[in-house]
Amino acid sequence: MKAGSNRIEAVVTDVVAVNELVKRFHFQRVDGGTLPTFSGGAHIVVEMQDEDRTRLNPYSLMSSPLDTHDYTISVRRDDAGRGGSLFMHNRVEPGQRMVISNPVNLFSLDLRARKHLMIAGGIGITPFLAQTAQLAAEGGNFELHYSFRNDKVSTYADLLRERHGKRVHLYRSDYGENLDLERVLSSQPLGTHLYVCGPDGMITWVRDAATQLGWPAGTVHYEHFAAPQPGKPFDVTLAVSGIDIRVGEHESLLEAIEAAGIDPPYLCRGGVCGQCETNVISYDGKFRHNDHWLSEEDRRSGCKVMPCVSRFEGKSLVLER
């Protein structure tokens, strides 16, 4: 989806090292106008021109939705990752032009809620910076519980404390400070919605506890962008386009399809939104499903795959693309 309307020509106006792991990037429109309106929890996809390769990575917007003269994102450096965060950390400088997408929100606040309970781990704090700014401006009722390792990586903890005071609860896990999840979940007034963003293990922990304590499924919201995992190269036939492609070790299936000149739809590139869902015509082998979208039934039947994060091992794979 490289349609003109979804691409915003932006300039990097500032790059700030927040701590040893995290850098913040500010984007403004090249033409100086205001950027599209967004709501807390939205993300943008940043296009990185890395030599002959285009990287497209999603990042949550952390700036206030009330101020659209710039967008800010924070990127945690992942030395063992596929290279997107390293590109942002090492190659992006103020003044540089980059293309970003329109914002998309797959982690929005449910404004029918009487109260919003937010649980963040590590860099998962970024969408909550935007959401708390939005709620604070509207007089909304919220409570944020934020866990990180130690003071060296307490990304924005001081800022949040300063902005929202006692509504922010901080936990430094290296010092044995841990969220008493059962107590927090059990003491919320009726009509509270729960939001969690952080490592996979934390999301599972919080969702399971909420289910056990009687939180209805519709009140529990979570976001985890699964970065595409590397794996063995594999061959795919794109039946509609009539071409065969090879997916490289460090490339996602979606990226390989795009590299072949085909523009399938996508939004999150992290296995959560469902946009790139692709029908499987035939296969002989095994899927490595890494998404949070397909149902168990879809996975068992082998009829669908999410090319943004999932892979394949085996003899042949034919997709309806």
Partner 1 sequence: MAMLSRPVYGKLSAQAGTHHLFIADAEGASAILAMAKQAPQDFFASAEIMYIPGSAGNKYVAGLEALVPGRFYQGPSIAAAMPRLRHIFENAHMGLRLYLTGTEGLIGQVSQIAADAGIEHSAIQTEHRGSLARRVQCVHCKGITENVTTQPVRCSHCGLLLLVRDHYSRRHAAFQGVCINAEDPSENPPAEEIFR
Residues in contact with partner 1 by CB under 8 A are 112-114, 185-192, 211-219
What residues does 43 pair with on adjacent strands?
60, 104
Residue 298 C-beta: closest distance to partner 1, Å? 22
Return the C-alpha torsion angle 90, 96, 100, 103, nearest 10: 90
> Residue 190 Cβ, how far from partner 1 at the closest point, in Å?
4
DSSP state of 61: -
Least separation in angstroms between CB 135 and partner 1: 16
State which residue, 137 or 213, has the beta carbon closest to partner 1.
213
Nearer to partner 1, 189 or 242 (CB): 189
As a whole number of angstroms, the distance between CA 283 and CA 303 comes to: 9
Q: Identify whether the C-beta of residue 61 lies closer than 8 Å to the C-beta of residue 130.
A: yes
CB of 110 to partner 1, least distance (A): 9
- Using left for φ > 0, alpha for ψ between -120 and 50, and beta otherwise, residue 64 falls in beta
Nearer to partner 1, 204 or 211 (CB): 211
**Beta carbons within 8 Å of 316's beta carbon, 6+ residues apart:** 235, 237, 282, 283, 284, 285
Q: Which residue lies nearer to partner 1 by CB, 212 or 282?
A: 212
Q: Please give the Cα distance from 79 to 62 (Å, whole number).
A: 23
- In whole angstroms, the minimum distance from the beta carbon of 215 to partner 1 comes to 6
